[in-house]
């Protein structure tokens, strides 16, 4: 599933010229296509937790891949621009929902190996980001751009097949196919016999959830801004277009080793703030180098800036390290990624507007510097050991009544006490 989450994003850019020869695709519409992924990932992030109240995470995973497959097929067959954009939007919305449910799936099925499986799936996402643009042009030259875009739908279909064995979930469900965790442990470590209460987390009322959203958002904003403008920055300093492509590859390629190492490291640290500090510092030094001496040792500045997104896999693993259940993980995942991707949309746009207004990159880098400060503060807050579940939430006790957590009922008090980590 992780491999399918970026194919609709990175398979298009190498083919825009070929697509434009058959349908209306001016430069401003290419810009809209560039903003669609983050915008729809953000919208999906905010809406998917609502679906999780009705469907299991397994059902949403299957539905997300079905939507992505249909969307990619529609745009490959589209006779005109409107249908091409509609198919793209459906595919990207499905991938956005997939982004949200993967953390709670890890939380549900591999609670003792959160770091390892987060590392694996984020690494596979990076692989799924890298492969499509490498294959896009050769396949288009052989069989046309439509087949080059459309065949990725078959990958989604193949990815769906293993999920049919667990959808609907065969265990850990109750009425309506809603996935639930095992009964909570008491403070002495024993399991309660009664079914657990259903807890609805309200992340917008939890400061730690906002901190996680800002960490994710500022990381994505800086990353997408560099994707959009790093080639222009270095070509303006005298590098050729080919050399600019190499610098962008250096920046993007560091995502794979970071994805492998950071989640595992974060699970072994009481506070992962050193990872946040590392990301902020490397981003900052890379930016200073690109601003002051972009044509000198450019590879070094690209490498340092490319190490900055270490906070991306950190934010994803913290979704699970700061929640107790896969339901809470889903709510926090949707909130953090929804807010984060919406914020990320503004990065390339604001940086470009500041460059056009001033004629240089100083103002743009100052803007990015402010976001790094926000990243550092939010990273410090979310790195403190605690659970977002412990903030205000709604609990449905075993007798079916609803009320705010902390209202004094025995079930919510027991749940709140069990397993508390560092306040």
CATH code (residue 385): 1.20.1250.20
Overall size of the chain counted in residues: 423
CB 320 within 8 A of CB 103: yes
Q: How far is CA 178 from CA 47, 60, 411, in A?
A: 17, 11, 20
Q: Is there a single domain that holds both residue 25 and residue 139?
A: yes
* 228 lies in the same domain as 112: no
229/362 same-domain check: yes
Whether residue 126 sits in one domain with residue 35: yes
Q: Are residues 10 and 100 both part of a single domain?
A: yes
Nearest to 99, CA basis, from 76, 134, 79, 128: 128
Instruction: Return the pLDDT at 83.
Output: 94
For residues 137 and 212, state if they share a domain: no
- Mutual orientation of helices 27-51 and 207-235 as an angle, nearest 10°? 160
Please check whether residue 383 lies inside any domain of the structure. Answer: yes
Kindly state whether residues 22 and 150 are assigned to the same domain: yes
Q: Which residues of the chain have pLDDT under 50?
A: 170-193, 195, 397-423
Tell me the two tokens of residue 18: 């070929």
How many domains, the chain?
A: 2
Reference 159, options 270, 64, 259, 263; nearest CA is 64
- pTM of full prediction above 0.85: no
Read off φ and ψ for residue 328, nearest 5 degrees: -65, -40
**201-222 b/e (C-beta count within 10 Å ≥ 16 → b):** bbbeebebbbbbbbbbbbbbbb
Q: Does the residue 172 lie in any domain?
A: no
The chain-wide mean pLDDT, for the chain, equals 83
Q: Final residue of a domain: which of 167, 187, 221?
A: 167
Indicate if 163 and 232 belong to the same structural domain.
no
8 Å CB contact between 34 and 312: no
Q: 256 and 387 share a domain?
A: yes
Q: What is the pLDDT of residues 268-326, one digit of tens each?
A: 998 999 999 999 999 999 999 999 999 889 999 999 999 999 999 999 999 999 988 88
Does a structural domain hold residue 419? no
- Please check whether residue 187 lies inside any domain of the structure: no
The answer to the question of residue 399 being in a domain is no
Whether the CA torsion 99, 374, 117, 332 is positive or negative: it is negative
What count of other Cβ atoms lies within 10 Å of the Cβ of residue 256? 17
Strand 393-396 to 403-404 pairing: antiparallel
Backbone phi, psi, residue 77, to 5°: -100, -5
The domain boundary, picked from 119, 152, 167, lies at 167
Q: Which domain holds residue 98?
A: 1-167
Same domain, 302 and 386: yes
**Domain-located, residue 405:** no
User: Each residue of 212-263: pLDDT tens digit?
Assistant: 999 999 999 999 888 878 888 888 888 887 788 788 878 888 888 999 999 9
Percent of the chain with pLDDT over 70: 84
Q: What phi and psi values does residue 235 have, to the nearest 5 degrees?
A: -70, -35
Please indicate, yes or no, whether residues 273 and 140 belong to a single structural domain of this protein. no
Alpha helices for 110-195 (secondary structure H): 114-143, 145-150, 152-160
pLDDT of residue 105: 94
Residue at 396 is within a domain: no
Residue-level pLDDT at 387: 86
SS3 content of the chain, % helix, strand, coil (to 5): 75, 5, 20
Rg (CA), the chain: 22
Residues 65 and 112 in one domain: yes
Out of 121, 152, 167, pick the residue that ends a domain: 167
Residue 412 lies in a domain: no
């Amino acid at each position: 599933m992780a491999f399918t989450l970026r194919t609709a994003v990175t398979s298009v850019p190498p083919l825009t010229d070929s697509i434009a020869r058959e349908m209306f695709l001016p430069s401003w519409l290419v810009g809209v296509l560039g903003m669609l992924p983050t915008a729809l990932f953000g919208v999906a992030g905010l809406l998917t937790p609502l679906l999780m109240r009705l469907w299991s995470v397994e059902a949403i995973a299957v539905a997300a891949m079905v939507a992505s497959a249909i969307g990619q097929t529609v745009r490959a067959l589209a006779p005109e621009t409107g249908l091409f954009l509609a198919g793209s939007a459906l595919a990207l919305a499905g991938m956005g929902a997939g982004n949200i449910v993967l953390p709670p799936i890890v939380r549900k099925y591999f609670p003792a190996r959160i770091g390892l499986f987060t590392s694996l799936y984020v690494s596979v996402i990076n692989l799924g980001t890298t492969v499509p643009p490498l294959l896009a042009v050769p396949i288009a030259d052989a069989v046309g751009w439509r087949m080059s875009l459309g065949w990725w739908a078959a990958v989604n279909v193949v990815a769906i097949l293993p999920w049919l064995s667990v959808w609907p979930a065969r265990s850990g469900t109750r009425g309506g196919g809603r996935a639930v965790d095992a009964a909570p442990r008491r403070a002495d470590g024993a399991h309660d016999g009664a079914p657990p209460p259903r807890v609805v987390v309200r992340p917008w009322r939890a400061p730690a959830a906002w901190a996680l959203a800002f960490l994710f958002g500022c990381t994505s904003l800086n990353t997408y801004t560099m994707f959009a403008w790093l080639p222009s920055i270095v070509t303006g300093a005298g590098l050729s277009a080919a050399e600019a492509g190499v610098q962008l590859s250096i920046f993007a390629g560091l995502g794979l080793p970071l994805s492998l190492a950071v989640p595992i490291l974060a699970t072994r640290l009481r506070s992962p703030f050193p990872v946040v500090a590392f990301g902020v510092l490397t981003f900052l030094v890379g930016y200073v180098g690109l601003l002051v001496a972009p044509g000198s040792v450019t590879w070094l500045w690209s490498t340092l800036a490319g190490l900055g997104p270490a906070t991306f896999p950190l934010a994803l693993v913290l979704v699970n390290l700061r929640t107790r259940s896969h339901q809470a993980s889903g709510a926090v995942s949707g909130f953090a990624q929804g807010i984060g991707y919406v914020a990320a949309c503004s990065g390339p746009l604001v940086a470009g507007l500041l460059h056009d207004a001033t004629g240089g990159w100083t103002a743009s880098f100052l803007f990015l510097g402010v976001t790094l400060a926000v990243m550092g503060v939010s990273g410090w807050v979310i790195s403190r050991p605690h659970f977002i579940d412990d903030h205000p939430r709604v609990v449905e006790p075993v007798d079916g009544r609803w009320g705010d957590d902390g209202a004094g009922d025995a079930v919510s008090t027991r749940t709140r006490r069990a397993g508390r980590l560092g306040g």
